[in-house]
Structure 1
Amino acid sequence: MFDKRLTQLCPESKKYIIGNIILQWLELALNTVMIITVAKTISKLYYKEWSMNDLTVPIIIITATLIIRFFTAQGATRMSYLASKTVKQKMRELIYSKLLKLGSKYREQVSTAELVQESVEGVDQLESYFGLYVPQFFYAFIAPITLFFLFGFGGSWATATVLLVCVPLIPGAIMMVQKIAKKLLSKYWGQYAQLGSTFLENLQGMTTLKTYQADEFKNQQMNEESENFRFVTMKVLTMQLNSIIIMDFFAYGGAALGILMATKAFVNGNLALANCIFMILLSAEFFLPMRRLGSYFHVAMNGMAASDKIFKFLKLDEPAEKTEVCTSGDIQLDDVHFAYDESREILHGISMTIPEKSFVGIVGESGCGKSTVAYLLMGRNTISSGTMTIGGKNTADVTEESLMKTLTYISHNSTFFKGTVRDNLLLAKPNAAEQELWSVLDRCNLSAFLKAEKGLDTVLLENAGNLSGGQKQRLALARAILHDSPVYIFDEATSNIDVESEETILSEIQKLAKNKTIIMISHRLANVVNADCIYCLESGNIAESGTHEELLNNNSVYAKLWKTQAELESYGKEARA
C-alpha cells in the first residue's frame, strides 16, 4: 500500500505529513470534547439537573472547539499542500534532468506525448498520494485506537472491542482489490498514454493527412483507441464503485452495531445516558477515517500507477558521456543503417561523402529516408550500425553542444516561441547587436514588413501564427544565418510557401553555399540543380549520385523523377493560363 521509492524521494515531506497527522488527531480530540459537552448537557437537561440558564458554559465550550477546529482543519490542508508541493517539484526536476541527459534522442525510448502526460498529469496525481493518502493512512489507525480507550474508560469495553475488531475489515477490503486495481490502473495509464501519443501525432501531421486523404483512416483509428480507453476507464470505475460498496457496508454496518450495543447497555442499566449519547455520536468516527482512506486509496493508486511510468522513464539508460568537439570538415556516412523499430529498417547501409564548403542535394520520393539522414546528422536519432563522422570526429562521441554549434537545421515547419521577433532571433545569437539583427532581416526581405509593424518588438503569436507561411520561413532563415554555423541543413525549407519567399530563400542558400557546407533535402529537383553532388535515394538506398547533368544522362531514377515533375509543372502552368 506504499511505494518506498516515493517516500525516499522526498524525505523533507515527512515533517509535513507528521504535522498533518497531528493536526487531524487534534481535530478528533476537539470533536471529542465537543461531543462530551453535548452528551453531558443533554443528560443534565434530561434528568432536569440543569436549567436553560446553565447552558452558557457548554455553548462557550462548543463555540471555542468549533473555532479551534476550523484552524486545525486549515492547518491540515496547508500541511497536505506543502507535502505534495515538495514531491511535485522534485519529481519534475528529476524528469527534466533526465531529459537533458538523454538529449534529443529521448524520442527513441519514449514518446513526447507520454512524457508530457507523465510530467504534468502524472505528477499531479502524486499530490493526492502525499497530501491525502499517506497522512490518512496513519491517522486511520491512530483514530480508532484513541476512540477504543475513550469508549473503554467511558464505560463499555465490550462496545469498544467490537468496534475496534470491525475496523480492520475496511483495510482488508482495500487489500483485496489492491492487486486488481494496480493491474487495471497500469493498463489505464498505458492506454491513456497511447491515446495521447496518437492524438499528438495526428494533430502535428494534420496537413500531411489531409494532403494524402488519410484523415478518415486516422479518425477511425482514433475512435477505436478512444473506445478502448473508455472501456478500460469503465472497468476502473466499476472496480472502484464495487470496493466502495464493500467499504461502506463495513463502515456503516460497524457503526450501527456500535450504536446498538451502546443503546442495549443503556437500556440494561449498564451505561449512563451521557456515555451512551457520547458513543452513539462517535461510533461512526471509528470507521470514517478508514472509509476516507478507502476513498483516497483509489486516487493514490492512480498516482502510484503514474509513478511507475515515471520511475521507468528515470531508469532509462543514458548515453555515455561525450567529450569530442567538432567544428567543421568533411561529413562522411559509411554503411549507415537505421530503423525506428526492429521490424522495419529505414536506411539500408547508405554511404555519403559531403566535402566541406560544398553544396549537396538529397532527393527522392516521400518515405525514401531523406529526412532521416538529417535527423541522424543532427543527433536526434542513433544509427543502428555503421559510422558517421564530421571532420574526422565520430558523431557518436561528439558533445550535443558542439554538434548544435556546427550544424543548423531548417525544416519546412520551423518552431517559434511566443514573444517578440527580437526574442526569437536572439535564440540564435544572444549577444547580437540590433544592427546585426536588421542586417539578416534585410537579407531575407523582412525588414520592410517589420518596420511597418513594431520593428524588432513585433509580437509573434505561438509558433508565429500571425505570419504567413513564407514570412515564417524567411524569419527562420534569418535566424539560421544569425547562428552562423559551418554546416546548414535545409529539409524541405521551401515547401508550401509563396514564389517570392521561395526565390528569396533559394537566393540566400546560393550565397551561403560559397563559404558554408549546404545540405539541401528537397522533393523538388529544381532546387538542387546547381548542387555539387546530388544523392538520389530510393527505399532507403542510394540509387545513384552525381551532378544534375550526370544523373539526367544516366536515365535512371533521378531522370524519371525530373521528367515527372517537369510534366506536372508544365500541366500546372497550362491550367493556370
Structure 2
Amino acid sequence: MVNGRLVRLGRSQMGHVLAQVAFQWIALAANIALVMGVAELVRAFVEGRFGSTHGAGSVLGALVCLAVRFAATRAAAVMGSRSSRGIKDVLRRALYDKLLALGPSYAQHISTSEVVQVAGEGIEQVETYFGLYLPQLLYALAAPITLFAVVAPMSLPVALGLVACVPLIPLAIAAVQAIAKRLLASYWSQYAELGDSFLENLQGLGTLKVYEADGFKAQQMDEEAEAFRRVTMRVLTMQLNSIIVMDLVAYGGAALGIFLAVGELAAGRLGLSEAFAIVVLSSEFFIPMRTLGSYFHTAMNGSAAADRIFAMLDLPEPKAGMRRLHGRSNPIDVRGLSFCYVPGRSVLRDVSLHIEPGSLVGITGASGSGKSTLAAMLAGRLEGYSGSVEIGGCQVRDIDPGSLAEHVVVVPTAGHLFCGTLRENLLMGDAHATDERLYRALAQARADEFVRAAGGLDMRIAEGAQNLSGGQRQRLCIARALLTRAETLVFDEASSNVDVESEEAIAALIRELAGERTVVVVSHRLANLVQADCIHVFEDGRLVESGTHGELVVAGGPYEGLWRAQHELEEGVR
C-alpha cells in the first residue's frame, strides 16, 4: 500500500528514505557475513582444522561485522528521524499556506477543532508512514532477493521454498486492507466529530449551565465517546487478528526453511556448515516482511489521516481580490445581501443599508438575527453570499485582503491575546509603533493605568490571557485595533461579558472615535447605541427599520419594544 500523493508531496524527503533503506541493507549484509563466518568456524571444527588462528580471526571478523551492523542500524534510525521531521514540516507548511489562502472564511468549510486534530495527531500519524513504513516497504523487497542470492548457491530447492513463502505476508496484508480502510475512515470521522463536540460544549459551557442543559450535553458526549470506543476496539481487533495471521506465516515459513535444510543435509546434498547458515538465515527471509506487517496498520492510520489532510488541501480557495482601497472617506453600501451558512437556512435576507464615512452606526436585534454575520461580511470574513457589499465603490470580494484588513478591523466579543509580552501583542497592530504611540493607544482605550501598574509594555500575557480580567483583555484588544489606523472599526458585542467599569470605558471610547473614524457598533444593549447617527434593527435576518434612537422610539416598532423591555429590566434591577 503506497499513498502516491503523499509520496509526491514528501519527495524532498525521499533521499533520507532511500538512505535509510541503504543502511538497513548494509546491516543485513553485515549480519549475513557474520553468519557465514560462524558457519565456516563450524566447518573447521567438524573437519578438525580449528586452531588459535581460526579463533582469533573469527573473533576479529565477528567484532567488525557487529560494529558495521551497529553503525548501519544507528544511521538508518537517524535517516528515519530526519525523514519524519521533514514530512511533518512539509505537511504543516502546506496546511498553514492553505489556511492563509482560504482566509478567515476557512471556518465555512472546516471546523477549527478538526484543523487542530489533523495538524497535530493526524500529522504525527503520517510521520510514522515516512519514518517507518515506507523505508521498511522498500527494504522488505530488497532483503529476500539478497538472501535468495546468498542461499541459492548452497541449495536452490531450499531457497525457492523460502522465497515462495515470503509473498504470503503481503497477501495477508492485502486481504485485510479493504476492511482496514473502511474502519480507519470511520475511526477518523468519529474522532473529528468527537473533537468538534467537545470543543463546542467546552466553549459554550457557561451557556449550558445557565440553561441547565449541561446534563443533556454530558449524556450526549458519553454516547459519542462510547461510539468512538467501539470503533477503536474494532480497529484493534482487526489489527490483532491480522498480526496472528502474519506470525503464523513468518514462523511457518522459517520452520519450512529449517525442515528443508535438514532434509537436504540428511540426503547428503548439503554440507553441515551450509545447513547451519540456512537454518540461521531462514528467519531473516521473513523478519523484514513481518516488520512491514506490524507497520502496516500504522501506515493505514497515517494514510487515513493523509486523506483528511488532502481533503483540506483540496478545499476551493476564494478568488483573491486585486483592488486596493485609498483614502479615509470610503462609504459602505450593502445592497440586496443574502447569506446562509447551511443551504435553505438564510441568516441574512435581502439586506440593504448605507454607512457614511466618519459616522457612528448601530446594528441591533435579537440573538440570531444576523448582526454578527453582517459584521463578518464587512471584514470580508465570509464568502458565498448574494447581493453586494461595497466599500468605497469596490466590491469586498474584489478588494485585496491586505488592503481590506488595513481599512476594516473587527473587535469581537472576546478578543484574543497571544502568550508573550504586551508590547509584542500591540505591535501586531503596527509593527513600527513607538512606545509613546503604544501608550497613547492604551490611554485612549483606558488601559494605560493598569498596564503601568502591572509592569508596563513588558508585562507578560499568559496563555489565553488568564492573568487578565475579561474587561482588561478587551481594552487591550481595542488598543491594538486603534494602532492599525483602520478607517472603519466594527465593535461586535465588544462590551459584552465585561465588568461595568470596562463597559463604560469602551462606550466612552466609541463616542470619542465618532467623527474620527467610521464606527459600527453591533450590540444587543440599546443604551450603547443612543448617540448613534443611525441605528439599523434586524429581525430574523431582515433589516426591519432604521433611524436615530429618538426616531425609532416614537415609531413604535421592534426597536421601541426592545428599548422598553431593557429599560424596565434595568430599572427593576436598580
Q: TM-score, normalised by structure 2?
A: 0.95
Measure, in 2, the Cα distance between the counterparts of 1:390 and 1:537.
21
Counterpart of 2:21 in structure 1 is: 21
AA partner of residue 119 (structure 1): A
Q: How far apart are the structure 2 equivalents of 1:446 and 1:15?
A: 55
Cα distance in 2 for partners of 1:480, 1:86 equals: 37
Q: Distance in 2 between matches of 1:451 and 1:18?
A: 58
SS at match of 1:55: helix
Equivalent residue letter for 1:416: L
How far 1:52 sits from its partner (Å)? 7.2
- Following TM superposition, the consecutive aligned residue runs of length 4 or more in structure 1 with deviations greater than 6 angstroms are none
Tell me the alpha carbon deviations over residues 414-461 of structure 1, each in whole angstroms, 9 at most, x when there is no partner. Answer: 010111111111111111111111122223332222222321111111
Task: Give the TM-score taking structure 1 as reference length.
Answer: 0.95
With over 3 angstroms needed to count, the CA separation of the structure-2 counterparts of 1:437 and 1:223, relative to structure 1, is same
Match of 2:291 in 1: 292
C-alpha displacement at 1:48, in angstroms? 4.8
> Per-residue deviation at 1:554?
2.3
Structure 2 vs 1, CA of residues 487 and 403 (structure 1 numbering), >3 Å: closer, same or farther? Answer: same
Please report how far the alpha carbon of residue 86 of structure 1 lies from its aligned counterpart in structure 2 after TM superposition.
2.9
Name the counterpart of 2:252.
Answer: 253
Question: Counterparts of 2:501 and 2:131 in 1: how far apart (Å)?
Answer: 59
1:211 and 2:220 aligned: no
TM-superposed CA distance for 1:471, in Å, is: 1.3
Residue 393 of structure 1 corresponds to: 394
Matched, 1:529 2:537: no
Q: 2: distance between equivalents of 1:519 and 1:211?
A: 30
Question: What is the CA RMSD across the aligned residues, in angstroms?
Answer: 1.8
Q: Which residue of 2 aligns with 1:165?
A: 164
How many Å apart are 1:46 and its aligned residue?
5.1
Q: What is the Cα deviation at residue 120 of structure 1?
A: 2.6
Give, in angstroms, the shift of residue 38 of structure 1: 2.3
Question: Any gaps of 5 or more consecutive residues in structure 2?
Answer: none
Do the aligned partners of 1:17 and 1:134 also contact (CA within 8 Å) in 2?
Answer: yes
After TM superposition, give the deviation of residue 507 of structure 1 in Å: 0.7
Superposition pairs of residues 324-363 of structure 1, within 5 angstroms? 324-327=323-326, 328-363=329-364
Question: Which residue in the other structure is 1:118 paired with?
Answer: 118
CA deviation digits over 1:87-145, x for unaligned, max 9?
32222222222222111111111222222222232222222222222221121122112
Name the CA shift for 1:213/1:348 in 2 (closer, same or farther; >3 Å): farther
1:358–1:513 CA contact under 8 A, matched in 2: yes
Q: 1: distance between equivalents of 2:262 and 2:389? A: 85
- Alpha-carbon distance in 2 for matches of 1:11, 1:425: 40
CA–CA separation in structure 1 for the residues paired with 2:11 and 2:486: 46
Match of residue 442 from structure 1: 443
Report the number of matched residues: 572
2:418 matched residue in structure 1: 417
Q: Secondary structure at the match of 2:536?
A: strand
* Equivalence for 1:129: 129
Amino acid at match of 1:84: S
Give the equivalent residue in structure 1 for 2:405.
404
Task: Decide whether the 8 Å contact of 1:376 with 1:383 is kept in 2.
Answer: no
Which sections of structure 1, spanning at least 5 residues, go unmatched?
A: none
Counterpart of 2:463 in structure 1 is 462
Letter of the structure 2 residue corresponding to residue 17 of structure 1: V
CA distance in 2, matches of 1:45, 1:372: 88
Q: Output one character per residue of 1:542-574: Cα deviation in whole Å (capped at 9) or x when no partner.
A: 23222222222222322222222122222222x
Aligned counterparts of 2:474 and 2:63: Cα–Cα separation in 1: 70
How many angstroms apart in 1 are the aligned matches of 2:182 and 2:267?
51
Q: Secondary structure at the match of 1:19?
A: helix
Q: What is the deviation of 1:208?
A: 3.1
Q: Give the Cα–Cα distance (whole angstroms) in 2 for the partners of residues 91 and 498 of structure 1.
A: 43
Which residue in the other structure is 1:520 paired with?
521
Amino acid at match of 1:79: M
Map 1:296-311 → 2, pairs under 5 A? 296-311=295-310
Taking the aligned partners of 1:445 and 1:109, their CA distance within structure 2 comes to 38
CA distance in 1, matches of 2:477, 2:83: 44
Aligned partners of 1:170 and 1:294 also within 8 Å = yes
The AA in structure 2 aligned to 1:12 is S
Distance in 2, matches of 1:500 and 1:92, equals: 43
Q: 2:197 & 2:65 partners in 1: Cα distance?
A: 55
The CA distance in 1 between the partners of 2:498 and 2:376, in whole Å, is: 23
The whole-number CA distance in structure 2 between the counterparts of 1:204 and 1:399 is: 32
Partner of 2:551: 550
8 Å CA contact 2:122, 2:302 repeated in 1:
yes
**2:90 aligned residue:** 90
Q: Is the 8 A contact 2:41 2:54 kept in 1?
A: no
